[in-house]
Amino acid sequence: MAANELEYPALVEAQASFVRFVDAIPPNGTIAILADGDVDGLGAAVTLHRHLVSRGIEEGRLHHLQVPKGGNAFTPASRDRVQAIAPSHLFVLDLGVRDYEIAPGVPTLIIDHHRPLTAPAGAVAITGYEWEPVPTSSLLTYLLCGEESTAWKAAIGNAGDLGPPFAPFEVAARGQKIKWFNEAKSVLNSAKRSSDPEAAVPAALSLLLRSESAKEVAEATDEDAKVLRGFHEEVKAELAQSRRVAPKFSATEPVALLRFDSPARVHPLLAQSWKGRLPKFIVMAANGGYLPGRVNFSMRTNLDVSILDLLARHGAELGIDEPEFGLGHDKATGGSLSVETFARLLVSLGF
């Protein structure tokens, strides 16, 4: 599908739901924006932020939050962060859809593109998972908001999460010059990939929110930029180290395993880099050094299979009931398991 032919029949209803939710925001009170820390989540967050300000909402009312390192939105830890600021309304961006009330009694709007589970009671969930092609959260948020001034920022999020081509984003990217666009994307993406996303993600969000161009992001020299550049170098070094690992192959499933330890979230990058080298396999990059006592892993493939279904089958056989397991996309997913549970999963997978 060509970029200028991108059409979503479900968008009209989604826009109506979005407008109703925003129109119901009261004139006072804190508005929480809980978003993923990768460039897709960042692109969605700044697009929504600018739209709400353009609607007359005071910028000081908007409070950006992130999930704890290695966690997700639907846990007590994330609930505590949201409830601590007592918001009147809550937006949840690029963090999935799950039957867990993050802020009971608080009107909640979820915008996402991963495979959804049941939405929390009382929440409005706008998901593009069944749309064709599946939009990233940045693209979906941009379509809902229609905020043209943020096109290049949403385009960075869309490109960073391998989203579908979209003519306004391609124009916006070229307008920024591809060199600066790609440099900004790389620097911003290092935030969530770093060993300390609690420090890096707020710096990335602040930099993207206030910058007027991709060049400004890439050439910034303030404290936020220094923080990001330090983590950017860390991610490059950790990825280079992890690439020295040789794959092991399952005896029963088309799965290739790369096992390593790193404090940085480089397992998605490693799995992605091996996906093309092992086209007949599902690549699993498993990182035992990201969180104490746990193994965080990412899986990628070019095969015509659903990794989500594969993990669901093995998870059911093993009785795995974890908040961070087998969520995301059919060909790009992963999870976080205790060392013991991950060892059981590997045995089930044929290692």
φ and ψ at residue 204, rounded to 5 degrees: -65, -45
CATH of span 3-176: 3.90.1640.30
At 1 the pLDDT is: 35
- Alpha-carbon gap, residue 34 to 93, rounded angstroms: 6
pLDDT surpasses 60 at 187: yes
**pLDDT confidence bin for 2, thresholds 50/70/90:** very low
| Through-space distance between the first and last CA atoms of the chain, rounded to whole angstroms | 40
At 5 the pLDDT is: 55
pTM: predicted TM-score of the whole model, two decimal places:
0.92
φ and ψ at residue 328, rounded to 5 degrees: 125, -120
Burial of 262 (0-12, 13-18, 19+ CB in 10 A): buried
Q: Give residue-wise pLDDT tens across range 81-108.
A: 999 999 999 999 999 999 999 999 999 9
Q: Give residue-wise pLDDT tens across range 133-149.
A: 999 999 999 999 988 99
Rg over alpha carbons for the chain, rounded to the nearest Å, is 20
Burial of 199 (0-12, 13-18, 19+ CB in 10 A): middle
Q: State the chain's mean pLDDT as an integer.
A: 95
Fold of 248-349: Diaminopimelate Epimerase; Chain A, domain 1 (3.10.310)
pLDDT surpasses 70 at 343: yes
Q: Give residue-wise pLDDT tens across range 243-264.
A: 999 999 999 999 999 999 999 9
Q: Give residue-wise pLDDT tens across range 208-232.
A: 999 999 999 999 999 999 999 999 9
Which residue from 141, 144, 169, 143 is spatially nearest to 156, judged by alpha carbons?
A: 169
Domain boundaries, the chain: 3-176, 248-349
Q: Give residue-wise pLDDT tens across range 279-335.
A: 999 999 999 999 999 999 999 999 999 999 999 999 999 999 888 898 888 999 999
Mean pLDDT value across residues 48-68: 97
Mean pLDDT value across residues 170-189: 95
